Amino acid sequence: MKKLNELTLSKKKSDFEIKTISGCEDSVDYIRQFYGDDIGIYESFFLLLLNRANKTIGYAKISQGGICGTVCDPIIIAKYAIDSLACAVILCHNHPSGNLQPSIADRQMTEQVKNGLKLFNVKVLDHIILTEDSFFSFANDGAL
C-alpha cells in the first residue's frame, strides 16, 4: 500500500534579528548577511519574507547555482510565501561577474513571480541583484 506524505508548517529560529524594511538599502544590508565569501563565486537566490508592517518574518535560500546562473522555481517561492503567511517578499540573487544589469531571464522571472503571488495578495516589493560591492534594485529602477 502506498503511503501519503504529511506536510507540516514549521519554523526554525535563526540568529537574524527582526527588522523593519523601509527601502532598498535596508533590504540590501539585511540580505547581505545571508551571503559569505562565496558572493563572488557562484549565484545564489534568496527570498526575504515580510509581514504587513514590512518587518522581516523569515527568509529562504531558494537555490544555489554555478558562476553564470541559478534555477529559481516560482512554485517554491510561492510555497514559502504562503506557508509563512507573508504579505510581501523581496527577491534577491547575486551576480558573481560583478555585472549589475538584470538579464532578460531575471526580468521574466521577476514578472512571473510577481503575477503569481498577486493571486494570493502577496506583493513583490523588490528584486535585488547583489555584487560584492554594489547592488541593483528593480524597484528603484522602476522595473516593478
- Rounded to two decimals, the pTM is 0.89
In 2-72, where do the E strands start and end? 44-50, 56-64
The whole-angstrom separation of Cα 116 and Cα 124 is 10
pLDDT tens digits, 92-139: 999 999 999 999 999 999 999 999 999 999 999 999 999 999 999 999
DSSP, res 52: T
From the list 66, 40, 33, the residue with the least C-alpha distance to 133 is 40
Measured distance CA(21)–CA(12) in Å, rounded? 21
pLDDT of residue 48: 97
| pLDDT (0 to 100) of residue 112 | 97
Task: Tell me the per-residue pLDDT of 44-87, one tens digit each, with 9 for 90 and over.
Answer: 999 999 999 999 999 999 999 988 889 999 999 999 999 999 99
Q: Is the pLDDT of residue 88 over 90?
A: yes
Cell numbers standing for residue 110: 521577476
Domains of the chain in start order, with CATH, are 27-35+42-132 (3.40.140.10)
Given a contact cutoff of 8 angstroms between Cβ atoms, the answer to whether 126 and 113 are in contact is no
Phi, psi angles (nearest 5°) of residue 77: -60, -45
First-last CA distance in the chain:
49
Pairing of strands 123-130, 135-137: antiparallel
